[in-house]
Amino acid sequence: MLKYLNKNIVLPESATREVSGRIYIQFVVCVNGSICCVEAIKNANSPYSQAAIDVIRTIPGKWKPAELNGVPVASYFKLPVMIHLK
C-alpha cells in the first residue's frame, strides 16, 4: 500500500518548495472490503491533505474487513501520511 501511495500521490503545484509534515487520514473499511468515508483528521488544513485523501480513495482491490464473533463488520482505519519534499 505504501508503494502505491508514494507512486500515485499527486501534490498540488504549490508543493515546489521544501516542506515536510504528517497528515492523518481516517477511513472506513466496509463489510464488503471497500474503502469509504475518507477524511483528514489531523492537519486537515494542510494543502496536501486533499492529495492524500484523493490517492487513498483510488487504492485498488479490496481490504479484508474486521470481524466480530466471526461476522465481518465495518471498521475505522487511521493512516499517517508523511509528506517530505527536498
Which pLDDT score, from 0 to 100, does residue 19 have?
67
pLDDT above 70: residue 17: no
- Report the b/e string of 37-48 with b at 16+ CB within 10 A: ebebeebeebeb
For the chain, the structural domain boundaries read: 2-13+20-85
CA 37 – CA 39 distance, rounded (Å): 6
The pLDDT, as a whole number, for residue 50 is 87
DSSP per-residue letters across 8-74: H----GGGGS-EEEEEEEEEEE-TTS-EEEEEEEESTTSTTHHHHHHHHHT--S-PPPEEETTEEE-
Q: Which of 5-14, 51-60, 67-76 shows the lowest per-residue confidence on average (mean pLDDT)?
A: 5-14
Residue 9 has pLDDT above 80, yes or no: yes
| pLDDT for residue 18 is more than 70 | no
Could you tell me which residue, 84 or 40, shows the higher pLDDT? 40
